[in-house]
């Protein structure tokens, strides 16, 4: 059965590749990018390869909670069901300088977690119109203890990393928070025909290169893709398409996936008390409380 998939991050990288693959399979894709130009350019490029693609460009800057609210209100006003809400958009900072959004929040946390949290809440009526809906959010194995770089360290007394900021820590903290959000959302969806899952698409150097510059960008784009630990765009896209529409996941929620199968997340991610605490914090920060 063809589905309506609202997908963020569709302007480039894995989001665009996933939109392309889903449209080629006949699904209706609401392709969301940061700007109107990026969304329309991506949709046009996909249609050139697949003239019959059912693509509708959308645009929203996820670093602005006001823009998220306006976007969600416009979608809700359409009165149409959304079968899959897929949060693919995200950022991985490389600068050692802490960056803030227009709302005054640390940018990685805001874009990777707070925006999906708010968008999911505001689009819940559209998800409830679907006979069987899915909320899928991109996380990462990098939230696991012992992963490369600065370790995960989510301090509820300093969630914005005003002290001891490091881009690796900001990213890992956001991906841990994605899992808290996912697992707590699934608990709160009990009795409804909506599931919530998270996915790690793997490390895709060719798309991660977009966040880097100079020699580092060249290294990411042309050297790392040949390493054994790297994931190709095709393999990562296979995993994301699986999460969106594969019938094997009908009714399956509260799980973490990678390479089209369930994988284990960290013990901390399964701490229900911390998940509830993060949920309350996210409600306050997004104005949903």
Distance separating alpha carbons of residues 115 and 286, to the nearest angstrom:
8
Closest CA to 212 of 92, 33, 63, 101: 92
Q: How far is CA 203 from CA 14, 34, 194, 209, 235, in A?
A: 11, 23, 28, 11, 11
Query: Sheet of 255-258: strands edge to edge?
Result: 55-59, 28-33, 4-7, 84-87, 133-138, 194-200, 255-258, 261-263
**Active site (annotated) includes residue 171:** yes
Residue count of the chain, please give it.
Answer: 289
Closest CA to 115 of 82, 97, 90, 95: 90
Strand partners for 6: 30, 85
Q: ∠ CA 65-59-232 to the nearest 5 degrees?
A: 100
**How many other C-beta atoms can be found within 10 angstroms of the C-beta atom of residue 269?**
23
Of 165, 171, 183, 222, which residue is the catalytic one?
Answer: 171
Catalytic residue set: 171
């Amino acid at each position: 059965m063809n589905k309506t998939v609202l997908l963020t991050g569709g302007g480039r990288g894995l989001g665009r590749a996933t939109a392309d693959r889903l449209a080629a399979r006949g699904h209706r894709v609401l392709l969301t990018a940061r700007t109107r130009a990026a969304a329309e350019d991506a949709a046009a490029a996909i249609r050139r390869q697949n003239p019959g693609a059912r693509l509708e460009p959308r645009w929203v800057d996820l670093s602005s909670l006001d823009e998220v609210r306006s976007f969600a209100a416009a979608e809700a006003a359409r009165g149409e069901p959304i079968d899959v809400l897929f949060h693919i958009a995200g950022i991985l900072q490389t600068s050692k300088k802490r960056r803030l959004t227009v709302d005054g929040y640390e940018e990685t946390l805001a874009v990777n977690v707070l925006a999906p949290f708010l968008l999911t809440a505001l689009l819940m009526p559209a998800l409830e119109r679907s006979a069987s809906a899915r909320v899928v959010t991109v996380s990462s194995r990098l939230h696991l203890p012992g992963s490369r770089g600065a370790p995960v360290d989510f301090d509820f007394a300093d969630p914005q990393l005003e002290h001891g900021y490091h881009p690796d820590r900001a990213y890992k903290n956001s991906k841990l928070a994605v899992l808290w959000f996912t697992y707590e959302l699934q608990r709160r969806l009990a009795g409804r025909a909506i599931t919530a899952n998270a996915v790690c698409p793997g490390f895709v150097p060719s798309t991660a290169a977009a966040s880097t510059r100079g020699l580092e960008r060249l290294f990411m784009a042309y050297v790392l893709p040949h390493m054994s630990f790297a994931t190709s765009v095709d393999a990562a896209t296979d995993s994301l398409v699986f999460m969106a529409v594969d019938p094997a996941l009908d009714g399956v929620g509260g799980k973490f996936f990678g390479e089209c199968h369930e994988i284990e997340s960290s013990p901390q991610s399964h701490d229900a008390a911390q998940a509830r605490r993060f949920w309350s914090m996210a409600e306050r920060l997004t104005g949903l409380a």
